[in-house]
Structure 1
Amino acid sequence: MSLINVSNLTFAYEGSYDNIFENVSFQLDTDWKLGFTGRNGRGKTTFLNLLLGKYEYSGTISANVSFEYFPFHVENKDAMTIEVVEDVYPEYLHWKLVRELNLLKVSEDVLYRPFSSLSNGEQTKILLAALFMKENRFLLIDEPTNHLDIHARKLVSNYISSKSGFILVSHDRSFLDHCVDHILSINKTNIEIQKGNFSAWWENKQRQDQFELASNEKLRKDIKRLSDSAKRTGGWSHEVERTKNGTRNSGSKVDKGYIGHKAAKMMKRSKNLEQRQQAAIREKSKLLKNIESAERLQIHPLDFHKDELVQLEHVSISYGSKTVCKDVNFTVKQGDRIALFGKNGSGKSSILKLICDERITYTGHLRKDPQVKISYVSQDTSGLEGSLSEFAAARHIDESLFKSILRKLDFSRLQLEKDISTFSAGQKKKVLIAKSLSEQAHLYVWDEPLNFVDVISRMQIEELLLEHAPTLLFVEHDSEFCENIATDIVEL
């Protein structure tokens, strides 16, 4: 066991006036299984890069261990998988690699196939095996679940939970609960550490927020009382001060010295109350510092004149000689929230694209009324760039509504003015979700909408879907989200 000490860490990106971290101090134990959580854009990946020494910062980070970051960058994806492992870890021992692959239920045969021919899930498992062969390293694991199907997530969570000595960034609640024994959270104004899994942290967070809200309400009443009192006292001192100038009391001469003294005492008391009021206001500003705003989202689905919106009968999709899905049958009716399940490469995204009128070669029957309006969230965010205003105009959506939704999803006003290409992966995904929520549609088709999206935003989206009940066809590998949202499951 050793400690990682972070002391007075302050960091901002070059050319930015906003500090990502400011005078942050804490300690980590290298034996911990540490879950790392926080809303998108708060600096989780940035902090991992600071541990790796990629940026200059003020303060100190001291550790007696070396750090290793996941996912690894694969330079040549056409190389044999065994060669990719060698590039990642030249000193690997083959028997150890085979042992790790067995734990991940990956056949040794894949080592002798081109890396590019492997599914996303197989690629992730291979790189995780290479990562955990490295000894005497503290592992920085950044969102390993993206593009893993539900079955693969369960397998990988079992694998990671058997290890120790890592920071795991993930927004999948079930995955975190199964893998970690401590939570490191980036809040609005600080970083804190708590023992336990994500559910324990979230429960404690809610209790803390309720306490701060109750304290804030009490403080508001105190401030109003002090403010009213200060106004009254200020009025008294003002009235007494006026009697010094020409006011008579029963015709007698005014004693300006006595009245001036009384006015001064009143004024002093008024100033004291005013200072107490200002102190109370300062105290109020310290409260609510870490309460996460999670305002209710809204969506405006359209009603269709028929109950059935889409019907697939014996649909099969092929790319060249490769069949990705075969004999798919299901119907989407108004009010349905259908989750498509299946392993990576089973054709889930292809089915969604086919329904959204992309050119997909298929056999079988797809019945869809041409008047059905569809709102689509793509899995891919790589091409997003330009201003949010330009994005809204190009897609003919209401800019003010679009930006209002982003504000509710924790975008700052400053963030709204930045180029989309500078956003984090989670923020880019939120742009696509906000676009879809701004559109009126009969059917919402979402392809892995929660990739990289923070936990609190996931909960907001869950509440929205349960409250407004739009017709939804989606692919998502967050098991808790699917369990809460799906009315039906179609497994490919």
Structure 2
Amino acid sequence: MSTLIAAEGLGHAYHDEWLFKNLTLGINVGQRVALVGVNGAGKSTLMKLLAERFAPLEGKIVKNKSVRIGFLDQEPSFPENASISDFIFSSENKQQQLIREYEELVEQEHPDEKKLNRLYEELSEHNAWEYEHQIKTILSRMGINHLQQKIDTLSGGQRKRLALAKLLIEDPDIYVLDEPTNHLDIDTIEWLEKILTSGNKTLLLVTHDRYFLDNICNTIVELERGKTYTYNGNYAYFLEKKAEREAQDDATFQKNKNLLKKELEWMRRMPQARGTKSQARQNAFYDLEEKTKQRSDNQKVTLNVKMARQGNKILELENIKQSFDDKKIINDFTYVFKRGDRIGLAGKNGTGKSTLLNIITGSLSPNQGKVDLGETTKFGYYKQGGLNFNEKDRVIDIVKADAEYIKMADGQTISASALLTLFLFPPKKQHGLVEKLSGGERKRLHLMKVLMQNPNFLILDEPTNDLDIDTLNVLEEFLENFPGILVLVSHDRYLLDKMSDQLFIMEGNGNVKIFNGNYSEHRNAVEQEKEAAVKKEKKEENKPASSTTKLSFKEQQEFKNLESSLAENEEKVKNLTAKLNQVEPSDYNQIQEISSEIEKINETIEKEMERWMELSEK
């Protein structure tokens, strides 16, 4: 295998602390490498060094100058005042510039026919139609529809999807991806898996999504205490081999501990003769002491906070309706929450998941319907956006602002400092500033503050974003034993499968479907429905034509209803088109909303027309 990029003797420090020293790593053509490790281990820093975002303090990155690296940051940056089109299409790529000109032209209400014809010919000359289709598919999948929209008007999630779209269009020699599944819905994640595993792509990625990691990667590199451990296999193989390594480390640790005890006794004897002792043996003692200290510090997050008492009435939603600007978000939804409910909230981006959560927690009153909250119900709401911390606050002060002492599940009361230690914030970090925390450490602190409230109704909105897998495993263990209500929003299919036994599926247009089962069971049910529909369609096609030409009474009624429905929908399209023409060009959100509505109605008209033709022929 030929090596595309390598790190030699790499060393880097952050806030005066070394993340790693003398680190060596190589990535070969066709390798799909996942970088794993606890929050704060230096994963993002190592990725940025390999992507040549900045230079290491020690060592070097070795690669051929012609090797193109595509880097997806957790929080991508963009040129100031740039449009989507400016960012996506490279000025050095002739095909892309033709596609840009063509796409911008067809977005216009009255495109210039001469220009369109000229571009059509040029795109054909440059064999760019297939490329145009590929670019359009990628942009559409990422929910990017208006090329003239300014990037600074996009949300954080839209920006991440835009950066990923550009990377997929450019198709670099090495993809370096920091949490690529954040802000993607499940359908898009599954589509992305197919893209990244097609061809002989070379990848280096950090992800918390274990299904994604297992489906994509063929090599796992663990970054632990400044060292790397490489496992040639998928994530399941890595877990097996890591367990073996840790068992061996435990045996070595116990051996070192016993040896350290003996050496410590030797060091304490005859202090007056200290100068005559073997210097080599003293040096070996200090080295052994450091190794043993490091191993004993290897702790895990502990989650066992107390839950508030829960009464008989928890929460009742009755005939909930919610819409924004004539767009239906929730239409007549009723549900009575019961003890032990473990609900996964699923649906594409923009279908109303956050709206439903806001109604549940009382931060939004529905347009219609009743929300009846039990007296003892206590929410713990872990929000996707995280908390707005003051960068200059100390970590311990943020916790003490809520409580000096916290009651645990076993009845024991512990201090804020002791709880922070259980959440892997050692004293040095506790008294350090928030600005020194990594993204994952901030999320861990946010999770801790939510659990400190002793909730009995826990809502987790994308809890897996930026948390390391070790912390996620502990969180899963805690949730499995959590006796209260759990509502989980996540694009992590593994977590949805493991933690939910019921789904609220936001289908769009206000429909909220309740499915009894987890995500994989729902997916299988959908696939079975599709297969059954295809079989039925084939059966109908092979069915001999009926000798009668008369319509049944039911078909006659359907025929009449179709005629009136077609007329009604055509009128709707006419009115919406008129409305679209009156919208200010800068109001991208309303343009997108109306265009989407017109597209949906046109799809309905097309289906109704097919059925009308079928009945009219009979």
Question: Quick one: structure 1 residues 40 and 137, their matched pair in 2 at CA, closer, same or farther if it must change by over 3 Å?
Answer: same
Q: In the aligned structure 2, how far is the partner of 1:452 from the partner of 1:424?
A: 9
| 2:141 aligned partner | 106
**In structure 1, what residue type is equivalent to 2:180?**
P
Match of 1:196 in 2: 233
Cα deviation, 1:231-265, whole Å, max 9, x if unaligned, reads: 9x97xx99xxxxxxxxxxxxxxxxxxxxxxxxxxx
Output the CA distance in 1 between the equivalents of 2:244 and 2:381.
37
Q: What amino acid maps onto 1:73 in structure 2?
A: S
The answer for the alignment partner of 1:381 in structure 2 is 386
Query: Are residues 92 and 173 of structure 1, via their aligned partners in 2, closer, same or farther at CA, if it must alter by over 3 Å?
Result: farther
| Partner deviation per Cα, 1:339-367 (whole Å, 9 max, x = no partner) | 21111112111221222221344322211
In structure 1, give the amino acid aligned to 2:20.
Answer: F
Letter in 1 for 2:253: N
Where 2:377 maps in the other structure, the secondary structure is coil
CA distance in 2, matches of 1:384, 1:97: 44
Q: Could you tell me how far 1:410 is from its partner in structure 2?
A: 3.2
Shift of 1:123: 6.2
Q: Which one scores higher on RCO, CA 8 angstroms, separation ≥ 6?
A: 1
**Aligned counterpart, 1:243:** none
Partner of 1:187: 224
**CA distance 1:218–1:195, change in 2 (3 Å):** same
Give the 3 Å change call, closer, same or farther, for CA 191–362 of structure 1 in structure 2.
farther
Written as runs of structure 1 = structure 2, the 5 A alignment for 1:58-69 is: 58-64=58-64, 65-69=67-71
Aligned partner of 1:142 among 171, 178, 185: 178
Q: How many residues align?
A: 454
Counterpart secondary structure, 1:430: helix
Residue in 1 that maps onto 2:432: 418
SS at match of 1:367: strand
DSSP-derived class of the 2:183 partner: coil
SS in structure 2 at match of 1:12: strand
Q: What is the TM-score when the length of structure 1 is the normalising length? A: 0.80
Do 1:223 and 1:277's aligned partners in 2 also have CA atoms closer than 8 Å? no
Query: Counterpart in 2 of 1:249?
Result: none
Counterpart residue number, 1:395: 402
> SS of the counterpart of 2:336?
strand
- Out of 354, 357, 369, which is 2:359 matched to? 354
Change (3 A) 1:223 1:51: closer
Deviations 1:91-135 (A, max 9, x none): 663442522554787399925574779898776555434213325
What does residue 9 of structure 1 align with?
10
**CA shift at 1:445, angstroms?**
1.9
Structure 1 residues without counterparts, runs of 5 or longer? 239-266
Q: Which residue of 1 aligns with 2:330?
A: 325
Is 1:461 matched with 2:486? no
- Aligned equivalent of 1:217, options 254, 265, 270: 254
Q: What does 1:18-417 correspond to in 2, within 5 Å?
A: 18-56=17-55, 57-64=57-64, 65-71=67-73, 72-75=76-79, 79=83, 81-86=84-89, 93=96, 94=99, 95-99=130-134, 101-102=136-137, 106=141, 110=145, 112=147, 114=149, 127-135=163-171, 137-162=173-198, 164-221=201-258, 279=284, 282-283=287-288, 285-286=290-291, 292-306=298-312, 308-381=313-386, 383-385=388-390, 386-396=393-403, 398=405, 401-417=415-431
SS in 2 for 1:215: helix
CA spacing shift, 1:448–1:30, aligned 2, 3 Å? same
Residues 214 and 309 of structure 1: CA distance in aligned 2, closer, same or farther (over 3 Å): same
Q: Are 1:121 and 1:149, in contact at CA under 8 Å, matched by a contact in 2?
A: no
Cα offsets for 1:310-334 (capped at 9, x unmatched): 1222323222333233333333223
Name the aligned partner's letter for residue 24 of structure 2: S
Higher share of residues assigned helix: 2
Q: Helix, strand or coil for the counterpart of 2:141? A: coil
CA deviations on 1:353-392 (whole Å, 9 max, x unpaired) are 2222213443222111244221221111262222223322
- Whole-Å separation in 1 of the counterparts to 2:92 and 2:367: 42
Q: 1:382 to 1:436 in 2, by over 3 A?
A: closer
Task: Give SS of 2:71's match.
Answer: strand
Residues 251-298 of structure 1, C-alpha deviation per residue, up to 9 Å, x if partnerless? xxxxxxxxxxxxxxxx99x978x9879857744753685795224321
Q: How big is the shift at 1:210?
A: 1.3
d(CA) in 2 for partners of 1:19 and 1:275?
Answer: 27
| Contact kept? 2:7, 2:24, Cα under 8 Å | yes
What is the CA-CA distance between 1:78 and the residue it aligns to?
8.6
Cα distance in structure 1, aligned partners of 2:137 and 2:389: 39
Is residue 37–residue 224 contact of structure 2 (8 Å, CA) maintained in 1?
yes
Deviates more, 1:27-36 or 1:200-209: 27-36
- Please say if residues 376 and 446 of structure 1, whose CA atoms lie closer than 8 Å, have aligned partners that are also in contact: yes
Normalised TM-score (structure 2): 0.65
User: What RMSD over aligned residues (CA atoms) do the two structures have, in Å?
Assistant: 3.6
What percentage of aligned pairs have identical amino acids? 22
Question: Within 2, Cα distance between the matches of 1:300 and 1:145?
Answer: 33
Q: Distance in 2 between matches of 1:322 and 1:422?
A: 43
Gaps of at least 5 residues in structure 2 are 100-129, 407-413, 507-618
Q: Is the 8 A contact 1:106 1:122 kept in 2?
A: no
Structure 2 counterpart of 1:472, from 486, 489, 511: 486
